[in-house]
Chain A
Amino acid sequence: MNVNEANLVRSVRGPITLITLGVLFAVDHFTPYGFEQTWPVLLIVFGLLSLAGRSASSASAARPPGGPQ
């Protein structure tokens, strides 16, 4: 396990949001599914990312004291 895990999750948050946004707009332009229908995907992605962030930080918190933060 890498100490950077929580950091990693935090730093992929932006790029993943960006990709999701791009994909949703592409879906809007090229398929009959509009952005007004697909936007909940963004919520789901935010939720999953924050879940991942939580489990990563609790994993590092469970490390024995003295370990690197």
Chain B
Amino acid sequence: MRRRSLAGPILLVAIGIGFLIYNLRPDIALFDLLTQYWPFLLIAWGVLRLLEVLLDYFRGSAPRHGFSGGEVTLVVLICLIGWGAYEAHRHGVQFRPAWEAFGEHFDYNVEGQQAAGMARTVVVQNDRGNVRIIGADTNDVKVTGRKTVQAVNQSEADRAQNSTGLEVVAAGDQIVVRTNQDHNPTTGRISEDLEITVPNRMNVEARGSYGDYDVSEVNGTVDLSSGNAGVRLNKIGGNARIELERSDIVRAVDMRGNLDLQGKGSDVELENIAGQVTINGSYSGSLEFKNVAKPLHFESPNTDLRVEALPGEISMDLGELNANHLTGPVHLVTKSKDIKIEDFSESLELENERGDIELTPNHAPLPKIEARTRSGQITLSLPDKASFQLAASTDHGDAVNDFGPAIQQQSDGRSASLKGHVDDGPSIHLVTEHGTVSVRKASGEPAETNKAEM
């Protein structure tokens, strides 16, 4: 006689708790959370079944059978739906359960105004909705916008509207813009898109959980934090600090101060930054950095990149890094990227696990170079008249040398190495465990290829 697994009843309880949370705490984006954390449901289910089986075994009773056909179907279904939901979520689709669509949307105009006086900071507290902040030559903080309330009928919507009025108040040296969405007595969702004009001398501070920020022409500092936001900064005079749990894009252009970005997201675009740039987080999309006058430090779980300044540009994604015109010392540690760096100065320290490396320092005097990869080719293209000291090696692969007899080539069986110096220059050290290591002339003269004996 087969006993039923505990998984069924527990699943029922979990679903009940889920709906309860959803009804009582609409501010928790349960469905968004589920799209991310659903794999742990599979793990929990598996662990539960495993424990049941082991318990039976040690009690000496007959083990339960494996999964029934229904269960297998359910698992496959969960995987497909979870995967699809996650992908959609990653690309910015927001999940609402279907029955929410039955509610209607009611729109209200909101506005407020407050003389800034001596206040130095505008604080915006808008939980859901987009916020656009524009600095202007004015003395007032002026807010206009549109509020969308989700409700089953007009009176319910009015009830929500009446208890969540927009406030623009002076508090100490702050002007606070509050949308009070947390005072909503109904379960319908409220979202507000605001356009705020502030005196351009002021600092800006904004927090929310969902909605984009667009800040421009502000000369003070900018401090943003959000659960999920796209951020666009344009012409900011002060330092900017951005903290996002999730974002589809962060773009900062023409900043005179420092930029500090933390969190997770997809794309990051920076251009014309006069201050220091610090990025700490994981970004799955494409990253483009252009024209950064001060040190840039990018740190993600897989990559650590530091440059002293970036007159040129760096673009990277999860599998590739292309850079041009860097001011060294350059320091790059990463796991699996194909790396191309052209025109860099001072020194380069590069460590890669898997991926090809292509280096083209096209100005003499050459920078000092130290490059390693575990698996991948290393190609170094040097100006014809370069002077340097070279030590290059590969454990499994060929060595290619364009600089003639000044560089000694050794190969035995699978490994090969290049050693020597051309005049007296900085040291260049290239190491790969699997792959060809080549030192070429940038002019593209035919190489004297001495292949390792096969």
Inter-chain contact B57/A2, CB cutoff 8 Å: yes
- The residues in A between 9 and 41 inclusive whose CB is less than 8 angstroms from any CB of B are 10-26, 28-29, 31-32, 35
Complex-state Cα separation, A1 to B36, whole angstroms: 43
Complex-state Cα separation, A26 to B86, whole angstroms: 11
Chain B interface residue count: which class? 35 or more
- Given contacts A4-B63, A14-B66, is CB(A22)–CB(B36) below 8 Å? no
Inter-chain contact B57/A8, CB cutoff 8 Å: yes
Closest-CB distance, A36 to chain B (whole angstroms): 11
Of B39, B62, B83, which one neighbours A22 at CB under 8 angstroms?
A: B39
A7 at the interface (CB under 8 A from B): yes
Complex-state Cα separation, A1 to B282, whole angstroms: 50
Inter-chain contact B63/A32, CB cutoff 8 Å: no
Counting chain B CB atoms within 10 Å of each CB, which of A11, A17, A21 scores highest?
A11
Inter-chain contact B42/A19, CB cutoff 8 Å: yes
Inter-chain contact B39/A29, CB cutoff 8 Å: yes
Q: Chain A residues near B281: list those with CB within 8 A.
A: none
Interface readout for B39-65 with A: 1 if CB under 8 Å, 0 if not?
111111111111001101100101111
Q: Chain A residues near B60: list those with CB within 8 A.
A: 2, 4
Q: Chain B residues near A13: list those with CB within 8 A.
A: 66
Q: Chain B residues near A14: list those with CB within 8 A.
A: 49, 66-67, 71
- Given contacts A11-B66, A18-B42, A32-B301, is CB(A25)–CB(B50) below 8 Å? no
Q: Secondary structure at chain B's binding surface: helix, strand, loop or mixed? A: helix
Q: Chain A residues near B42: list those with CB within 8 A.
A: 18-19, 21-22, 25
Q: Chain B residues near A26: list those with CB within 8 A.
A: 39-40, 43
Inter-chain contact A25/B38, CB cutoff 8 Å: yes
Inter-chain contact A12/B50, CB cutoff 8 Å: yes
Q: Chain A residues near B49: list those with CB within 8 A.
A: 14-15, 18
Q: Chain A residues near B57: list those with CB within 8 A.
A: 2, 4, 8
Complex-state Cα separation, A24 to B42, whole angstroms: 10
Of A7, A24, A31, A35, which one neighbours B63 at CB under 8 angstroms?
A: A7
- Given contacts A11-B63, A11-B65, is CB(A16)–CB(B46) below 8 Å? yes
Of B45, B54, B62, which one neighbours A18 at CB under 8 angstroms?
A: B45
Inter-chain contact B46/A15, CB cutoff 8 Å: yes
Q: Chain B residues near A4: list those with CB within 8 A.
A: 57, 60, 62-63
Complex-state Cα separation, A24 to B48, whole angstroms: 18
Complex-state Cα separation, A4 to B60, whole angstroms: 8
B318 at the interface (CB under 8 A from A): yes
Inter-chain contact B40/A19, CB cutoff 8 Å: no
Complex-state Cα separation, A24 to B79, whole angstroms: 11
Of B65, B79, B318, which one neighbours A21 at CB under 8 angstroms?
A: B79
Q: Chain A residues near B154: list those with CB within 8 A.
A: none
Inter-chain contact B39/A25, CB cutoff 8 Å: yes
Complex-state Cα separation, A19 to B67, whole angstroms: 13
Closest-CB distance, B265 to chain A (whole angstroms): 13
In the A-B complex, list the 4 residue pairs whose CB atoms are closest, starting with the nearest: A22-B42, A18-B46, A19-B46, A22-B43
Chain A residues near B (Cβ < 8 Å):
2, 4, 7-8, 10-26, 28-29, 31-32, 35
8 extra A-B contacts, CB within 8 A, seeds A8-B57, A21-B75, A22-B44: A11-B65, A14-B71, A19-B47, A19-B50, A21-B42, A22-B43, A22-B45, A35-B83
